[in-house]
């Protein structure tokens, strides 16, 4: 729903039961063969309890916040999907509190190691206060756009909150957080005083937790696209109808890096979306920018953003085509550019797509290198979580061999600090960004 005022919200809704294909984890009452120590009694008696199989506590003790269904040996009580449960190791030693899921591969998501904690609205407010303070410390109190909360890295399992001026977007990809979304919205309204809070729960990730897709207005008034400024470049985003939550916030520092190298260069921005990299290149003094994307709507937004940014004086061209195919054609045509930016969508959303993704990255990087003048610059990125940083470096190196060029690394980065990385959880480190000089 766009527009309109939302009144008092109800208490958090009942938890939705998972509908995945994995078998339900059934409670078991018998005592496991390795025994239960008296430490077990220190767990909260009011909560259902999970006991891990021997040796399965090591990842959690090392900081990894998920427990998989196959690691659980025993369930005491009758927890439902989304309930808060206590977790213990095989000897009964308490490990923490978290959300339970009956059918998901991820059966437990850690909330806190403090087994005496009360998981209520105040608990999540404190997590949001901490997340907000971190962003304000880095970007300043007047920053207009950033990721306010980044899931497990901010202690909010599966929850993404983005800020665009006075409008917030909320996405909950775990059943436990989805059931407590109302608490989150209440806290956000109090802490940030937004004009609107929009729900963007229309992504495929929700299906893994048995949640339906939905999008709409949770609070306030949203009457259409929002404009915000990023280092003098104006972007207009529709947080309710646009891609993801409206914009690719994770690349903000990498856009600035490209801008620093763009003066006087002929720039090719591939998979340009809203014109993120190309417009920064134009603002940095590029001689010309060619935008390439498969979406006409994205190209129209990029053109409008160029005008809103006062960049009409920079020569720009906009081309709609399958970028993977078109890159190869452009190389065969003998086209040349001074700076090529490759920022494709995620080619691998899971490990089963890894090999296909590596071939796609290889294909576009070979073409991108072939399109460059001797000594030109290649900015290449991957946002596929299933592709490790080493995987990506390897495929780019192989692409250079195939293209017959030599690479000199000028800059390597990931996502901006508003996407903090939980060091023990590789899943929170997904973006890879490399900037090379390419010589023949």
Looking at residue 17, its pLDDT comes to 40
Ranges of residues in the chain whose predicted pLDDT is under 70: 1-43, 45
Looking at residue 348, its pLDDT comes to 74
**How far, in Å, CA of 43 to CA of 88, rounded?**
8
Looking at residue 12, its pLDDT comes to 42
Looking at residue 385, its pLDDT comes to 87
* Residue range 38-112 in CATH 2.30.130.10: yes
Instruction: Please state whether beta strands 432-439 and 372-382 pair in parallel, antiparallel, or not at all (unpaired).
Output: antiparallel
- The residues, any chain, with a CB within 8 Å of residue 77's CB and separated by 6 or more, are 27, 47, 48, 49, 85
Looking at residue 424, its pLDDT comes to 95
Looking at residue 30, its pLDDT comes to 40
Instruction: Please state whether beta strands 196-201 and 167-172 pair in parallel, antiparallel, or not at all (unpaired).
Output: parallel
pLDDT digits (tens, 9 = 90+) for 165-217: 999 999 999 999 999 999 999 999 999 999 999 999 987 888 888 899 999 99
Per domain, the residue ranges of the chain are 38-112, 121-226, 248-439
* Residue range 248-439 in CATH 1.10.287.3510: no
Looking at residue 353, its pLDDT comes to 79
pLDDT digits (tens, 9 = 90+) for 405-423: 999 999 999 999 999 999 9
Could you say which DSSP state residue 365 is in?
Answer: H
Say what the pTM is: 0.87
Catalytic residues: 383
Asked whether the beta carbons of 162 and 99 are under 8 A apart, the reply is no
| Assigned CATH topology for domain 121-226 | Transcription Regulator spoIIAA (3.30.750)
Q: Give the E-state strand segments of 140-258 in sequence order.
A: 145-150, 159-164, 167-172, 196-201, 214-220, 226-230, 233-237
The DSSP-derived string for 83-117 is -EEEEE-TT--EEEEEEE-SSSSEEEEEEES-TT-
Asked whether the beta carbons of 108 and 69 are under 8 A apart, the reply is no
């Amino acid at each position: 729903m766009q527009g309109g005022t939302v009144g008092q919200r109800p208490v958090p809704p009942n938890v939705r039961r998972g509908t995945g294909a994995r078998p339900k984890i059934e409670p078991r009452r018998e005592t496991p063969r390795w025994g239960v120590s008296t430490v077990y009694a220190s767990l909260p008696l009011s909560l259902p309890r999970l006991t891990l199989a021997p040796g399965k506590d090591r990842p959690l003790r090392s900081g990894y916040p998920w427990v998989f269904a196959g690691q659980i040996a025993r369930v005491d009580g009758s927890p439902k999907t989304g309930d808060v449960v206590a977790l213990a190791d095989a000897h009964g030693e308490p490990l923490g509190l978290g959300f339970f899921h009956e059918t998901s591969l991820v059966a437990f998501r850690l909330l806190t190691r403090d087994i005496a904690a009360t998981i209520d609205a105040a608990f999540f407010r404190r997590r949001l206060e901490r997340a907000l303070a971190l962003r304000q410390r880095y970007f300043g109190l007047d920053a207009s756009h950033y990721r306010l909360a980044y899931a497990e890295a901010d202690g909010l399992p599966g929850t993404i909150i983005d800020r665009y001026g006075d409008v917030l977007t909320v996405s909950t990809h775990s059943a436990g957080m989805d059931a407590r979304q109302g608490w989150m919205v209440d806290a956000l309204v109090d802490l940030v005083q937004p004009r609107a809070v929009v729900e963007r729960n229309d992504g495929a990730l929700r299906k893994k937790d048995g949640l339906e897709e939905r999008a709409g207005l949770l609070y306030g008034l949203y009457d259409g696209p929002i404009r915000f400024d990023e280092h003098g470049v104006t972007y207009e985003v529709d947080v309710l109808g646009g891609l993801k939550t409206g914009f690719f916030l994770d690349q903000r520092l990498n856009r600035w890096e490209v801008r620093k190298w763009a003066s006087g260069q002929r720039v090719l921005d591939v998979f340009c979306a809203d014109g993120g990299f190309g417009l920064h290149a134009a603002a940095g003094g590029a001689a010309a920018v060619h935008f390439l994307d498969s979406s006409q709507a994205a190209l129209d937004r990029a053109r409008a953003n160029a005008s809103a940014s006062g960049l009409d004086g920079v020569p720009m061209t906009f081309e709609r085509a399958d970028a993977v195919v078109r890159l190869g054609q452009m190389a065969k045509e003998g086209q040349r550019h001074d700076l090529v930016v490759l920022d494709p969508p995620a080619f691998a959303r899971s490990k089963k797509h890894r090999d296909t993704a590596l071939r796609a990255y290889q294909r576009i990087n070979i073409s991108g290198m072939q399109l460059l003048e001797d000594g030109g610059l290649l900015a290449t990125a991957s946002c596929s979580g299933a592709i490790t940083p080493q995987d990506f470096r390897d495929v780019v190196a192989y692409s250079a061999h195939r293209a017959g060029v030599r690479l000199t690394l000028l800059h390597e980065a990931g996502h901006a600090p508003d996407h903090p990385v939980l060091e023990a959880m590789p899943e929170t480190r997904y973006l890879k960004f490399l900037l090379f000089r390419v010589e023949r």
